[in-house]
């Protein structure tokens, strides 16, 4: 059977749990105070109960006042315990919610900071952020409650040591066995929970892949096969879930048996003490109660189970946090035409020591067979990826040294399969184009849409540029034109079009190319070209082969080379 243990990376060591504890804010402090108060009340209650019983039995000599005082002490302790328990539940829920929200915000920011370099599949990332972070967010509350759950047993053992040493000795013999049982429980549950969440992530990753290719699956008629592929890990998920509950059930059963044996032993010892006159009837009841508290680990087991799952969720979140975000410098760009330079660049096993200068202000087409490095070159041009070796510079400044704002303000991108983000069509076009959160002026949006041949069909939508994206069904070519409009709306000195016209008809591509050479001619344009017509209208053509520049010049001059003509004749992408 296929296993998914390898997808559950160990944390560099569970840092999200203490981070979540800080994220719980005042809720964590309230939880600690409430559970501590509950533990104190639980420790004092058997003593108060013993006094009440002894007062009732001695009512003739102690009087009604002593009985009433003892009973009211019990009532007060029960009331305090109940109120503290209510506050603890409220604080645990509030702290968990706040810690989970804080973790999700931090994880989302980190995922976006890492960007395309993130090596974890998107579906698995979503699973970790939804399920795993929810488990990790419960960690601080579980840890606090697990610690305070040990206070009543400790207090009970201390009281017994003073009031009934033989009973305390009987209980103390069982404590190491209980501790070993809990240690094994935490270890087994933590490992099982981590594997369980790993399989969940694998299912989520497969589902995300299938949703991304839903049209392909429908066209191929393979929905049933894909459903079986997505759900193939379910048996292992069920096995890990059953294993988790088997561990818990086994520990609970052995614990109950140990507690039963211990209570029999305590009753026997306390009964002998009563018969010998060394304790009272109330003392016997208190001894039995304290013995149950001293060996009672049911609450601790429950909290430790949650803590084990929290550690597993934290480990999976930490694996994302271990992915280094792309670091940016602090430099800004000097005035310049957008001159792009590649110096000895090797990247992705495709580009091999590439040297290239793209003059500022020109429209440059990059052509080559599949695998020649066109897409890698386009990614490096705006630092969507970093070279393994070498340097990429824009107007003489290495891209690594630029601040995030300087880099993104200077470079715009359009892709073959753009993803439209925002509430409306206008939002999708103005994404990242500034200025401010309200986006660019509407006039600039419309100008960019006209340049991308998108204004006509956008105006025909029910609410024009204000149409919600969910109510604006668009073809692949129309989506690509919106992506182009988004790139055109951005200010800057370098525009990269990575196969951004592949879904357009020849006439539309011609009109967009004219816009690139006309109104957008004040910036450098780097276009990965697959059609000879696109290359022909460019100011300069860069011909890649095997990760290096084979030729550079005007399309008409390169066309004389049969190998260059073969690039377009082959139809390679």
- Asked if residue 329 is part of any domain, the answer here is no
- Asked if residue 521 is part of any domain, the answer here is yes
- 412 sits in which H/E element: strand 411-415
> Do residues 270 and 124 both lie within one domain?
yes
Convert the pLDDT of each residue in 388-405 to its tens digit.
Answer: 999 999 999 999 999 988
Q: What's the domain range around 559?
A: 340-569
Q: Looking at residues 344-363, what average pLDDT do you find?
A: 92
- Asked if residue 335 is part of any domain, the answer here is no
> Do residues 127 and 274 both lie within one domain?
yes
> Do residues 269 and 410 both lie within one domain?
no
- Name the H helices within 138-233: 139-148, 151-163, 165-212, 214-220, 223-231
- DSSP structure string for 268-285: HHHHHHHHTTSS-HHHHH
> Do residues 439 and 294 both lie within one domain?
no
Domain of residue 89, CATH code: 1.20.1560.10
Please count the CA atoms within 13 angstroms of the CA of 561 that sit on its side-chain side.
Answer: 13
Q: How are beta strands 548-553 and 411-415 bridged, if at all?
A: unpaired
> Do residues 219 and 169 both lie within one domain?
yes
Contact call for residues 358 and 496 (beta carbons, < 8 A):
no
> Do residues 302 and 350 both lie within one domain?
no
- Asked if residue 333 is part of any domain, the answer here is no
> Do residues 479 and 549 both lie within one domain?
yes
Please count the CA atoms within 13 angstroms of the CA of 93 that sit on its side-chain side.
Answer: 5
> Do residues 309 and 352 both lie within one domain?
no
Whether the full predicted model's pTM is greater than 0.85, yes or no, is no
Q: What pLDDT shows up at residue 572?
A: 53
Residue 563 pLDDT > 90: yes
> Do residues 132 and 75 both lie within one domain?
yes
Convert the pLDDT of each residue in 290-299 to its tens digit.
Answer: 766 766 666 6
> Do residues 472 and 356 both lie within one domain?
yes
Domain of residue 511, CATH code: 3.40.50.300
**Residues 141, 134: Cα–Cα separation, whole Å:** 12
- Asked if residue 105 is part of any domain, the answer here is yes
> Do residues 311 and 441 both lie within one domain?
no
**CA proximity to 21, closest of 94, 92, 128, 95:** 95
- Asked if residue 89 is part of any domain, the answer here is yes
Residue 7 pLDDT > 50: no
Domains contained in the chain, number = 2
Q: How confident is the model at residue 3 (pLDDT cuts 50, 70, 90)?
A: very low
Residue 387 pLDDT > 90: yes
Q: Looking at residues 322-328, what average pLDDT do you find?
A: 85
Convert the pLDDT of each residue in 59-105 to its tens digit.
Answer: 655 556 667 877 888 889 889 989 998 998 898 888 888 888 888 88
> Do residues 400 and 281 both lie within one domain?
no
Last residue of a domain, one of 321, 351, 367: 321
Q: Looking at residues 225-243, what average pLDDT do you find?
A: 83
- Asked if residue 328 is part of any domain, the answer here is no
Task: Kindly report the length of the chain.
Answer: 573
Q: How confident is the model at residue 2 (pLDDT cuts 50, 70, 90)?
A: very low
Residue 107 pLDDT > 90: no
Q: What pLDDT shows up at residue 401?
A: 95
Q: What pLDDT shows up at residue 17?
A: 46
Q: How confident is the model at residue 8 (pLDDT cuts 50, 70, 90)?
A: very low
- Asked if residue 332 is part of any domain, the answer here is no
Residue 437 pLDDT > 60: no
**Residues 477, 474: Cα–Cα separation, whole Å:** 8
């Amino acid at each position: 059977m296929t296993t998914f243990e390898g997808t559950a990376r160990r944390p560099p060591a569970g840092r999200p749990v203490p981070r979540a504890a800080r994220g719980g804010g005042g809720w964590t402090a309230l939880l600690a105070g409430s559970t501590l108060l509950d533990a104190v009340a639980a420790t004092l209650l058997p003593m108060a109960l013993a006094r009440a019983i002894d007062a009732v039995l001695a009512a003739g000599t102690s009087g009604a006042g002593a009985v009433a005082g003892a009973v009211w002490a019990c009532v007060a302790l029960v009331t305090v315990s109940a109120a503290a328990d209510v506050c603890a539940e409220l604080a645990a829920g509030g702290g968990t919610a706040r810690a989970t929200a804080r973790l999700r915000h931090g994880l989302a920011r980190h995922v976006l900071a890492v960007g395309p370099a993130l090596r974890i599949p998107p579906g698995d990332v979503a699973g970790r952020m939804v399920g795993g972070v929810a488990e990790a967010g419960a960690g601080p509350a579980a840890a606090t409650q697990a610690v305070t759950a040990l206070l009543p047993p400790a207090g009970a053992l201390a009281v017994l040591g003073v009031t009934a040493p033989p009973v305390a000795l009987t209980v103390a013999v069982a404590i190491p066995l209980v501790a070993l049982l809990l240690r094994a429980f935490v270890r087994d549950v933590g490992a099982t929970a981590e594997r369980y969440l790993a399989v969940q992530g694998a299912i989520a990753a497969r589902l995300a892949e299938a949703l991304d290719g839903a049209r392909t699956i429908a066209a191929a008629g393979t929905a049933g096969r894909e459903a079986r592929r997505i759900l193939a890990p379910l048996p292992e998920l069920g096995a890990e879930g059953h294993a988790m509950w088997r561990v818990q059930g086994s520990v609970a059963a052995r614990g109950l048996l140990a507690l039963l044996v211990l209570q029999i032993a305590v009753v026997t010892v306390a009964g002998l003490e009563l018969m010998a006159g060394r304790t009272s009837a109330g003392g016997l009841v208190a001894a039995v109660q304290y013995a149950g508290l001293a060996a009672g680990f049911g609450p601790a087991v429950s909290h430790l189970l949650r803590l084990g799952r929290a550690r597993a969720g934290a480990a999976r979140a930490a694996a994302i946090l271990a992915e280094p975000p792309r670091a940016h410098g602090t430099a800004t760009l000097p005035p310049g035409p957008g001159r792009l330079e590649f110096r000895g660049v090797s990247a992705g096993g495709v580009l091999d020591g590439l040297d290239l200068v793209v003059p500022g202000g020109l429209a440059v087409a990059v052509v080559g067979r599949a695998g020649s490095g066109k897409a890698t070159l386009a990614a490096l041009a705006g630092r969507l990826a970093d070279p393994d070796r070498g340097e990429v510079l824009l107007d003489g400044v290495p891209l690594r040294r630029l601040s995030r704002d300087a880099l993104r303000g200077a470079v715009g991108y359009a892709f073959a399969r753009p993803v439209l983000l925002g509430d409306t069509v206008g939002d999708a076009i103005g994404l990242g184009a500034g200025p401010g959160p309200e986006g660019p002026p509407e006039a600039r949006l419309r100008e960019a849409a006209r340049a991308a041949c998108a204004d006509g069909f956008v105006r025909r939508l029910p609410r024009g540029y204000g149409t919600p994206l969910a109510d604006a069904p668009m073809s692949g070519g129309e989506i690509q034109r919106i992506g182009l409009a988004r790139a055109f709306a951005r200010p800057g000195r370098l525009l990269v079009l990575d196969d951004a016209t592949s879904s357009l008809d020849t006439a539309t591509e011609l009109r967009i190319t004219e816009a690139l050479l006309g109104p957008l001619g004040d910036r450098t344009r780097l276009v990965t070209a697959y059609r000879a017509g696109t290359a022909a209208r460019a100011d300069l053509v860069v011909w890649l082969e095997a990760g290096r520049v084979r030729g550079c010049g005007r399309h008409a001059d390169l066309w004389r080379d049969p190998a260059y003509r073969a690039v377009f004749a082959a139809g390679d992408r």
